Amino acid sequence: MSGGSVGATRLLVRGLAQVASPSGTDAPLRGEELRAVDVVERAYVLCEGGRIAAVGRERDLRPLPGEVEEIDGHGLSAIPGLVDCHTHACFEGDRVEEFALRAAGASYEELHAAGGGILSTVRATRAAGEAGLTDALARHVGWMLQAGTTTFEAKSGYGLDRDTELAQLGAIRAAGGVPTWLGAHAVPPEFPAADAYLDFVLEEVLPLAAPLAEAADVFLERGAFDAAQARRYLEACAGAGLTLRLHGDQFTEAGAIPLAIDLRARSVDHLESTGTGGIAALAGSDVVGVLLPASALFLGRPMPPARALVDAGAAIALATDFNPGSAFCESLPLVCSLACTQLGGLEPAEALAACTVNAAHVLARADRKGRVEPGHDADLVLLAADDWRYLAYHLGGPVVHTVIRGGEVAWSTRA
């Protein structure tokens, strides 16, 4: 950094090799629009008061009067701050033991059915206490930031009791995340069955969770909640003013897509098992398909039918699913690499839109996040490359150089 001074409210990133931003003004982007990226070569971005004030070619930049902090962007390219619209980042402990068991042949569903899996993280998260949970979340949010994520959603769902669910939502909110109440993630051991657990959460937790959360989510899957139970949970949550989301078609097609469409959910997430009927139905709807290739990779599952979804006209987003069991991965750049190599060949432009503007749409923030354009929040990732497509190209590499959030440097490789 050069010419900086404490308290400057203007930040000029100049000399950038490229600025790349999804085209258009609408959200979510679909079809042809999903692959349209506006690229400005030899460019600058001016941030003012936490917003983007101007983007243009370096040669058109006129001297700026007054105090301006400058970043030298030579050799770098800028993209919008990444938006991770599906994480379970608020957890305590790890599942490294389970990871080793899975590597030796145990399956995720078997571990879950035997009281491990999600329920082992529930035990650790319940025991963490509010301070422990806040610390764990801060550590995870730091990892996400270093990977270029400037806006994140995180779900509860590792409490499954009143106090821990509320503590999770409070911690996520306090950390600046977008909180989703995943009150129907699993049935905790103190309840005999899913229906009895739902009686409890809807009566005793929903009224307190709804003011803290923006959305509600359910794990609609064999061994978790069936379609009738998911409908009951989601209808009650909609009645409390929450936006609806679903974990669906991860292992089996159990009715998630029709339910999502019927209830006008914002998204249905996973879709590793979605067939042709589900693809067509989703494409004809406003529900966004959120694809989580790191989770499919981590569990050795089939990848979701991304290419078919996009070609059929569905709106898609990409997210990490960051959690200790099925996707211990906080990196959206890695997810973009997987999208371009494992998801039937999404193009880098499609991957970029899917984890910026379309993800912002899932979080109801596309009016101010997900594009590098005047008026939007000044959230930028400066990539350590002169071509923005290194975002997906550099598989697992140190591609994030500097992260700017709200017009300030939030993390940088440059001391």
Residues found near ligand NIG in the complex (CB under 6 A) = 88, 117-118, 121, 219, 247, 250, 295, 321, 323-326
Structure-token pair, residue 356: 């910026």
Nearer to Fe ion, 69 or 321 (CB): 321
- Give residue number: closest CB to ligand NIG: 325
What is the spatial distance between Cα 230 and Cα 257, in angstroms, rounded to a whole number? 12
Segment interacting with Fe ion, rule: CB under 5 A, options 42-50, 249-257, 316-324, 400-408? 316-324
C-beta separation of 47 from 378 below 8 A:
yes
The DSSP bridge pattern shows strands 380-383 and 77-80 to be: antiparallel
Question: 51 exposed, middle or buried (CB, 10 Å; 0-12, 13-18, 19+)?
Answer: middle
Nearer to Fe ion, 151 or 250 (CB): 250
Segment interacting with Fe ion, rule: CB under 5 A, options 52-60, 142-150, 201-209, 313-321? 313-321
In order of 180, 203, 296, 337, 351, the CA distances from 304 in angstroms are: 23, 35, 8, 15, 14
Q: Is the dihedral of CA 93, 362, 261, 168 positive or negative?
A: positive
321 binds Fe ion, rule: CB under 5 A:
yes
C-beta separation of 387 from 35 below 8 A:
no
Residue 206: partners with Cβ closer than 8 Å, 6 or more residues away: 181, 183, 236, 237, 240
User: Facing residues of 408 across strands?
Assistant: 405
**Residue 325 binds: one of ligand NIG, Fe ion, none (C-beta under 5 to 8 A by kind):** ligand NIG
Other Cβ atoms less than 10 A from the Cβ of 75: the count is 14
Nearer to Fe ion, 249 or 321 (CB): 321
What is the spatial distance between Cα 103 and Cα 300, in angstroms, rounded to a whole number? 10
Nearer to ligand NIG, 278 or 348 (CB): 278
Segment interacting with Fe ion, rule: CB under 5 A, options 138-146, 304-312, 319-327, 372-380? 319-327
Smallest distance, ligand NIG to C-beta of residue 324, A: 6
Instruction: Choose among 282, 249, 255, 251: nearest CA to 266.
Output: 282
In order of 84, 163, 382, the CA distances from 352 in angstroms are: 12, 38, 14
Segment interacting with Fe ion, rule: CB under 5 A, options 123-131, 279-287, 314-322, 338-346? 314-322
Other Cβ atoms less than 10 A from the Cβ of 177: the count is 25
**Residue 168 binds: one of ligand NIG, Fe ion, none (C-beta under 5 to 8 A by kind):** none
Nearer to Fe ion, 98 or 321 (CB): 321
Smallest distance, ligand NIG to C-beta of residue 102, A: 11
Nearer to ligand NIG, 99 or 393 (CB): 99
**Residue 117 binds: one of ligand NIG, Fe ion, none (C-beta under 5 to 8 A by kind):** ligand NIG
Smallest distance, Fe ion to C-beta of residue 88, A: 6
What is the spatial distance between Cα 91 and Cα 122, in angstroms, rounded to a whole number? 8
Relative orientation angle of helices 162-174 and 118-146, to the nearest 10 degrees: 0
State the number of binding residues for Fe ion (CB under 5 A): 1
377 binds Fe ion, rule: CB under 5 A:
no
Smallest distance, Fe ion to C-beta of residue 97, A: 20
Nearer to Fe ion, 16 or 316 (CB): 316
Smallest distance, Fe ion to C-beta of residue 225, A: 14
**Residue 326 binds: one of Fe ion, ligand NIG, none (C-beta under 5 to 8 A by kind):** ligand NIG
**Residue 121 binds: one of Fe ion, ligand NIG, none (C-beta under 5 to 8 A by kind):** ligand NIG
**Residue 149 binds: one of Fe ion, ligand NIG, none (C-beta under 5 to 8 A by kind):** none
Question: Cα–chain-centroid distance for residue 197?
Answer: 28
* Dihedral, 327, 331, 336, 340 alpha carbons, nearest 10: -60
Segment interacting with Fe ion, rule: CB under 5 A, options 166-174, 318-326, 332-340, 360-368? 318-326
Smallest distance, ligand NIG to C-beta of residue 114, A: 14
Nearer to Fe ion, 321 or 379 (CB): 321
Nearer to Fe ion, 9 or 252 (CB): 252
- Interface of this chain with Fe ion, residues 252 to 311, rule: CB under 5 A: none
Nearer to Fe ion, 214 or 321 (CB): 321
Buried b (16+ CB within 10 A) or exposed e, 266-295: bbbbbbbbbeeebbbbbbebebbbbbbbbb
The DSSP bridge pattern shows strands 69-72 and 77-80 to be: unpaired
Smallest distance, ligand NIG to C-beta of residue 297, A: 12
> Would you tell me which residues interact with Fe ion (CB under 5 A)?
321
